[in-house]
């Protein structure tokens, strides 16, 4: 079986789930609206330009998980899925997943957004395998810290290599779909790199490397 790897945000969905979660928290009154929204926007711009300090960002973005009970977070996430995620799921992305599934490929989502946000999205898309940033949990509660290597930029390669070793998989015949210049390290490792509605930097890199460029947007 070949491995079909997918970035999530702005690839399989028409938006950024991490940024959308921040907006959702603002709307719920769970964070200081002005301070949080300004920081959320600033970090998102740094991410898009490929200049994000992931550890600084995680200290910011994981803090609300530590400040609320698992029950409150679960209730919010149900609302978040309905209000923010369902409207941006791309039918053509679901069709792409279905084609790989029909071929017998192993489907894997690898994302720089944390597992709390992305695991229900992967479930909704019918993808069992997920590599995501792992928020630390102690005694059943989030601590606000990250566990292990963040799956961001070169960290995606590190995490994927560990995942492959655990399952005795290889990258032979592998394909990776992404929209972001942040994923260049992994795009350069797989057999087939495909840029999906790419940002400007990734489009230039894809053109220079003769990678296929596709759109999953309507």
Are 133 and 112 a contacting pair, CB within 8 Å? yes
On average, the pLDDT of the chain sits at 97
| pLDDT tens, residue by residue, 44-100 | 999 999 999 999 999 999 999 999 999 999 999 999 999 999 999 999 999 999 999
**109 phi, psi to nearest 5 deg:** -100, 130
Active site residue 179: no
Active site residue 199: no
The pTM of the full predicted model, rounded to 2 decimals, is 0.96
Query: Cα torsion for 89, 133, 49, 196, to the nearest 10°?
Result: -40
What are the b/e assignments for 84-115, b being 16+ CB within 10 Å? Answer: bbeeebbeebeebbeebeeeebbbbbbbbbbb
């Amino acid at each position: 079986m070949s491995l079909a790897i997918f970035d999530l945000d702005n690839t399989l969905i028409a938006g950024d789930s991490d940024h959308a979660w921040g907006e959702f928290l603002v709307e719920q009154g769970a964070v200081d609206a002005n301070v949080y929204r300004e920081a959320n926007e600033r970090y998102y711009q740094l991410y898009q330009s490929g200049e994000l300090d992931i550890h600084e960002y995680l200290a910011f973005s994981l803090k609300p998980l530590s400040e609320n009970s698992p029950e409150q977070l679960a209730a919010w996430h149900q609302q978040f899925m309905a209000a923010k995620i369902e409207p941006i799921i791309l039918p053509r992305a679901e069709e792409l997943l279905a084609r790989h599934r029909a071929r017998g490929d192993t489907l894997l989502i690898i994302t720089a957004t944390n597992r709390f946000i992305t695991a229900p999205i992967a479930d909704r898309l019918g993808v069992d395998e997920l590599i995501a940033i792992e928020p630390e949990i102690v005694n059943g509660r989030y601590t606000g810290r990250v566990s292990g290597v963040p799956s961001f930029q070169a960290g995606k390669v590190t995490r994927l290599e560990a995942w492959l070793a655990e399952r005795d998989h290889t990258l032979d015949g592998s394909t990776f779909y992404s929209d972001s210049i942040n994923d260049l390290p992994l795009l350069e490792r797989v057999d087939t790199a495909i840029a999906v509605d790419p940002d400007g930097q990734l489009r230039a890199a894809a053109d220079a490397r003769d990678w296929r460029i596709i759109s999953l947007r309507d």
